[in-house]
Structure 1
Amino acid sequence: MNELIIALAGLITGMTTVLFGFGGGFVVVPFVYQLFLRQPSLADHALHCAVATSTAVMVFNAGWATYKHYRAGNLSVSLLLPLCSFIGGGAVIGSLLAGRLHEETVRVLFILYMLITISDCLFSRRFLKESAQRELSPLTRKVGGVVIGVVAALLGVGGSVMTVPLLRRHGYSMKACVAMANALSLPVALCATLIYALSDWGTIPGGGFVGDIHLPTLAILVVTGWCGMVISQRYLPKIADLWHARIYVLLLIVVLIAMIAV
């Protein structure tokens, strides 16, 4: 039964990666957290393991989606390159912080982060409708990149929920925002996964762990996530920009409710 739930989470994750740039965190973390929480030997490590496993999933999902967007010509290299280094540095900081924070602290931070993001999307005039495209300032790229990396690695959310609203406010279409969000999730995923794989080595009860990453869960999520991405790319219809933005916010609200209801 647990494997079926994980497979469903992986399938949804793959679909949301393509459609909304969610590399895994906002679907995987709540699902996997609930499963680990119900295992007495893992309960004290449930959220850290869920975040770490989610981050590892993003390496595969975001990597595949980035490749497809690159082939389709949807990526702006001039925008991505300056942000990648700052986001990667922030991801290292966030990953190191995660191992030093209590489980409940990480959960509360996750919920607060979701509340702030949803409020920003709902009340920003530039998010729910297209506006004139503007370049990101050097300060936004530096400070914003580091903050995105820290938060994404700390909470296992990939950064899409920060990069999409940021780029949307600067006039980019949802299609471009999603393409860029996947690419910008890669430095987060790579840096954070390495840190999580080296953290708590041999201290998590039970087998199948490399650091905080649960390999059996990771394998199921990667395979079913790929299936979800194929389904999205081949069979789901294109979404109009306005509805794309609205559904994005709705999904954030659903995940928020799931985490609050724990």
Structure 2
Amino acid sequence: MNDIIIILLAGFTTGITTVLFGFGGGFIVVPFVYHIVAGPPGLSPHAMHIAVATSTAVMVFNAGWASVQSGRAGRLNTAVLFPLVWFIAAGAVGGSLLAALLKDELVRALFILYLIITLADCLMRKGFITRPQPRKLSGTTVRLGGIFIGVVAALLGVGGSVMTVPLLRRHGHEMRDCVSAANPLSIPVAVCGAVTYSLAGLHAVPAPGYSGFISLKILVLLTASGFCGMLFTRRCIPAVPDVLHARIYVILLLAVLMAMAI
């Protein structure tokens, strides 16, 4: 029962962060699922793969719904989304295949390392907390940056928001616009990751209720509670000022780093 309550709270929080920060699952879901499945002996050897796989599946629903809502509100900038989304999708295929070859503890270590690098970049380099002058993404950034985002995001199950938000922010976009773009840019990562983990984990987890490495029970609970969290955010939480929005983003990254490291 305690685990179910934890999952529901994590899902509800994920729904909130999806709308406010473009985090469709990874940074909230991965630490919670990891700690839940790391205990049982049969699941512990695959705990990180289960957490990442389930996270990517959750992101398909969360990022998809948030993208539809942003599209209806006219907040999606197609000039930013294309062709970046295609290069992220290409990278996501490679990242998903690579993740299936890595050991569980290595994926966890990479997850923590990536959080540290992202936090240091946001805090130590100018251009994130305070928005710079708008400028267009270069062709090299779109191609190489998009592939890199796709590989890392699919490998770690974090979606693309943790990289696309800082990238777009440093090119002069408001946090609201960065988040609106982050959700559709996370969809190819989520789809590629979910399919790959489902196939790569066939017969690997000695427990019922799994599609490969994806926990179907946790997926349903997270998706349902996440939907409630997104509705709550849309209707009850007012717009956040731009600079405060950026600062909360950094604080959230730090909280997840501490949870995963401990």
Q: Which amino acid aligns with 2:95?
A: G
Other-structure match for 2:17 = 16
In structure 1, distance between residues paired with 2:175 and 2:217: 34
- Alpha-carbon shift at residue 95 of structure 1 (Å): 0.9
In structure 2, distance between residues paired with 1:235 and 1:40: 42
- Alpha-carbon shift at residue 192 of structure 1 (Å): 1.4
- Alpha-carbon shift at residue 175 of structure 1 (Å): 0.2
Q: Which amino acid aligns with 1:258?
A: A
Other-structure match for 2:125 = 124
1:18-62: CA deviation from partner (whole Å, max 9, x where unpaired)? 000001000000000000001111000000010000000000000
- Alpha-carbon shift at residue 215 of structure 1 (Å): 0.5
Q: How does 1:239-254 map to 2 (within 5 A)?
A: 239-254=240-255
1:82 aligns with 2:83: yes
Other-structure match for 1:168 = 169
In structure 2, distance between residues paired with 1:219 and 1:104: 26
Q: Which amino acid aligns with 1:165?
A: P
1:152 aligns with 2:153: yes
1:232 aligns with 2:239: no
Other-structure match for 1:218 = 219
In structure 2, distance between residues paired with 1:190 and 1:103: 21
1:5 aligns with 2:10: no
- Alpha-carbon shift at residue 131 of structure 1 (Å): 1.6
Q: Which amino acid aligns with 1:243?
A: L
**Structure 2 segments unaligned to the other structure (5+ residues):** none
Other-structure match for 1:54 = 55
Runs of 4 or more, structure 1, over 4 Å off, are none
1:108-129: CA deviation from partner (whole Å, max 9, x where unpaired)? 1111100110011112211001
Q: Which amino acid aligns with 1:250?
A: I
In structure 1, distance between residues paired with 2:110 and 2:132: 31
Other-structure match for 1:26 = 27
In structure 2, distance between residues paired with 1:123 and 1:172: 19
Number of residue-to-residue matches in the alignment: 261
Question: How high is the TM-score relative to the length of structure 1?
Answer: 0.98
Which shifted more, 195-204 or 141-150?
195-204
1:64-91: CA deviation from partner (whole Å, max 9, x where unpaired)? 0000111111111122120111111111
Q: How does 1:175-194 map to 2 (within 5 A)?
A: 175-194=176-195
| Secondary structure, aligned partner of 1:157 | coil
Q: Which amino acid aligns with 1:92?
A: V
Q: Which amino acid aligns with 2:173?
A: Y
1:134 aligns with 2:142: no
Other-structure match for 1:206 = 207
In structure 2, distance between residues paired with 1:243 and 1:257: 21
1:132-186: CA deviation from partner (whole Å, max 9, x where unpaired)? 1110000000111011011111110001000000000000000000000011001
1:107 aligns with 2:108: yes
In structure 1, distance between residues paired with 2:90 and 2:205: 27
In structure 1, distance between residues paired with 2:102 and 2:204: 16
**Structure 1 segments unaligned to the other structure (5+ residues):** none
In structure 2, distance between residues paired with 1:47 and 1:112: 15
- Alpha-carbon shift at residue 200 of structure 1 (Å): 2.0
Matched-pair identity in %: 56
In structure 2, distance between residues paired with 1:108 and 1:5: 24
| Secondary structure, aligned partner of 1:23 | coil
